[in-house]
Structure 1
Amino acid sequence: MSSHQPRTITPSDLPKAITRYLGAHHAHDTATAVAAFTSDATVTDDGRTYRGAAAIEQWLNRSASEFTYTIELTEAQQTDPTHYVATHHLEGDFPGGVVDLRYQFSLRDDLIERLVIEP
């Protein structure tokens, strides 16, 4: 592992797979969101890991319907050529009502191989 310093970038400089996923997720377009992932991708959210396209699709559908919230991309960072962090500010009817979440992306072949979401 190399110890790259995270570098703050503008959200528009995030790779296409990430912006495609984020845009589709906000629009509740599950098919487009899933298409941004590799077929063997993993997503870890709320301490649970979802592996593969079918599991990720179920997670997206559930997270879209579970709570109502606004989400704003507040910061983007690149830690190395294939690793990015997109920090989002959420406000809504989920427990606590307000949270900043770090979406940590790992890319492979211009697709998302791994996504870890945590505060």
Structure 2
Amino acid sequence: MTDTGTPLPVADLPGTIRRYLRAHNAHDAQAATAELTPEATVTDEGRTHRGVPAVAEWLTRAASAYTYTTTLVGAAYDGPDRYTVVQHLEGDFPGGTVDLRFRFTLDQDRIASLVIAP
């Protein structure tokens, strides 16, 4: 499932991560960004988006680029305040399928950093 960390039941992920993923998958930028620290960074496709306004813009843009479904494959605890979630995506993007690792770093129960990569 993951190449790092200790496997973790999804139900044991911190609530902020579960809420973020639910909002992200529902294309709800407002609910997703509510789970971030004010200066949070999100890195996706090699680009880093800094701060809530930039992340909200990225979420809105990304939601309209392709149609896809997600399946949560698994989760892992990587260390204090660090978690990895793997989601399988299928859709009309180039390649059609991919497993993405969402690497979260938390700060006081909010997402301070998220790196999304295969």
| TM-score, normalised via structure 1 length | 0.94
**What is the one-letter code of the residue matched to 2:23?**
A
Moved over 3 A (4+): none
**Residue 53 (str. 1) matches residue 40 (str. 2):** no
The number of equivalent residue pairs is 115
Residue 81 of structure 1 deviates from its aligned partner by 2.1
CA distance in structure 1 between the aligned counterparts of 2:93 and 2:26, rounded to whole angstroms: 19
Aligned CA-pair RMSD: 0.8
**Residue 68 (str. 1) matches residue 67 (str. 2):** yes
**Residue ranges of structure 2 left out of the alignment (5+ in a row):** none
Q: Name the % identity.
A: 51
- Larger displacement relative to structure 2 (76-85 or 22-31): 22-31
- Larger displacement relative to structure 2 (19-28 or 104-113): 19-28
CA distance in structure 1 between the aligned counterparts of 2:94 and 2:68, rounded to whole angstroms: 11
Residue 33 of structure 1 deviates from its aligned partner by 0.3
| TM-score, normalised via structure 2 length | 0.95
**What is the one-letter code of the residue matched to 2:34?**
A
**What is the one-letter code of the residue matched to 1:26?**
N
**Residue 13 (str. 1) matches residue 12 (str. 2):** yes
**Residue 110 (str. 1) matches residue 100 (str. 2):** no
**Residue ranges of structure 1 left out of the alignment (5+ in a row):** none
